[in-house]
Amino acid sequence: MIYKRSSALFAEAEKVIPGGVNSPVRAFKGVGGTPVFVKEAKGAYLYDEDGNRLVDYINSWGPMILGHAFEPVVNAVVEKAKKGTSFGMPTEIETQIAELAVSMVPNIDKIRFVNSGTEACMSAVRLARGYTGKDKIIKFAGCYHGHSDSFLIQAGSGASTFGSPNSPGVTKGTAKDTLLARYNDIENVKALIEGNKNEIACIIIEPVAGNMGCIPPKSGFLEAIRSLCDTHNILLVFDEVMTGFRLAKGGCQELFNVKADIVCFGKVIGGGLPVGAFAARNEIMNHLAPLGPVYQAGTLSGNPLAMAAGLAMLTELNSHAEVFIRLEEKTAYLHEGIAKVLNDNNITHTINRVGSMISVHFDEAEVVDFDTAAKGNNDTFKKFFHGMLDSGVYIAPSAFETWFITDALSYEDLDFTIAAVNKVSKFL
């Protein structure tokens, strides 16, 4: 594949944007080489600036669950834009998408829209602290909840790629209130609670981790955390920025039948426009300004364009819940196909999958937490990434990420991908 124009565009971008990108993981630091610049996208395909067609397994890191430039979303945004893009005043469409989201997701009465997953998680933690009157939080090593200070303590995703567990700029004062637990290790969570009695406002978790590759919760893990939260008066925050409206209509609360106290959303809920949200039952959400004392705000929060995209997306998913079954079937087919060709080529690997989230790890050990995810052979991953890219398949440019399956993928696309893995495997 030729990346001449992407390389030229990257050189220009680097002069005026730090690292040439507006989000670090896009810079290919985890895999080397220069990033591919995309010109446009439709359905399951990206078309880069050099005219290459790429089968897309990132889908903007999750939002494009129904494919790029999905007609109902595009049409909704175009029509809404003609009537004004933002007012800073309440609009009916905010209520419409809020009512729909509340009807789709269990255990929430109210939802507040913001502009990113980071904002959603940051606000959820502030709300938990304000509601409980306690300062500390527990997060899990390798989980990523956005780039708010409280979370950049051994975060996943790009922060892991950079191997910078604690980002400079995060004060010691902030870091001391974030306790770090090991994913899938309930004894470790218990020990942290015992050691910080009556000081913990919430436990925030990715119910299916997606920022150290895809890591499912071990059987009973989420239920055990729920029980500890009930015993110790701690709020359970499900960060469903990735899993919300992807793994089930009602997200992981529905999938695992575990009740969260606050749920955070992003990605799919915005249909590709900047939308985050956090939601809870009335007794918690009524602590939020202007009703209650916990402050949170945003100029563009609930703006009509983003709401139009999100409403069109959620409406589609709500009225065609069979999409979730198709996504599961397509991802299982891909999983089986990739596993077969990697085994046929004697490539040491393990594959984690939940619903339409999947990740390939080049290590034989089971990947259950950040430490085991970090054991993957990154040199092999880099060769794999570039081999797949040169074969016309775009996967996550980091071993600490998840592939996101879109319903726009056909079985021909999946076979094309499996054949690419087979070809690439011979050079790993």
Give residues in contact with ligand KE4 (CB under 6 A): 23, 25, 61, 116-118, 121, 144-146, 157-158, 206, 210-211, 239, 241-242, 266, 276, 401
**DSSP class per residue in 296-323:** ---TTTT-HHHHHHHHHHHHHHHH-THH
CB-nearest residue to ligand KE4: 117
Choice between 25 and 203, CB closer to ligand KE4: 25
Instruction: Give 282's DSSP letter.
Output: H
Choice between 146 and 304, CB closer to ligand KE4: 146
Choice between 52 and 157, CB closer to ligand KE4: 157
Shortest distance, position 23 Cβ to ligand KE4, whole Å: 3
Is 144 one of the annotated active-site residues of the chain? yes
Partner residues linked to 153 by β-bridges: 166
Residue 79 tokens read as 């029509």
Residue count of the chain: 428
Q: How far from chain centre, in Å, is Cα 197?
A: 31
Choice between 108 and 342, CB closer to ligand KE4: 108
Burial state string for 79-99 with b = 16 or more CB within 10 A and e = fewer than 16? ebeeeeeeeeeebebbebbbe
Number of Cβ within 10 Å of residue 428's Cβ equals 19
* Given the residues 134, 139, 267, 330, the one annotated as active site: 267
| CA-based nearest residue to 350, from 213, 161, 156, 183 | 213
Shortest distance, position 206 Cβ to ligand KE4, whole Å: 5
Q: Strand 45-48 vs strand 403-404: parallel, antiparallel, or unpaired?
A: unpaired
Cα angle, residue 124 at apex, residues 166 and 328 outer, rounded to 5°: 85
Is 267 one of the annotated active-site residues of the chain? yes
Residue 155 tokens read as 């975060």
Shortest distance, position 37 Cβ to ligand KE4, whole Å: 15
| CA dihedral (137, 142, 145, 148) positive or negative | positive
Shortest distance, position 276 Cβ to ligand KE4, whole Å: 6
Helix (H, G, I), strand (E, B) or coil at 363: coil
Choice between 121 and 137, CB closer to ligand KE4: 121
Shortest distance, position 373 Cβ to ligand KE4, whole Å: 13
Shortest distance, position 247 Cβ to ligand KE4, whole Å: 12
Choice between 63 and 337, CB closer to ligand KE4: 63
* Given the residues 48, 56, 239, 363, the one annotated as active site: 239
Shortest distance, position 122 Cβ to ligand KE4, whole Å: 9
| CA-based nearest residue to 44, from 65, 68, 62 | 68
Choice between 158 and 217, CB closer to ligand KE4: 158
Helix (H, G, I), strand (E, B) or coil at 45: strand
Burial state string for 304-339 with b = 16 or more CB within 10 A and e = fewer than 16? bbbbbbbbbbbbbbeeeeebbeebbebbebbbebbb
Number of Cβ within 10 Å of residue 14's Cβ equals 14
Active site residues: 144, 239, 267
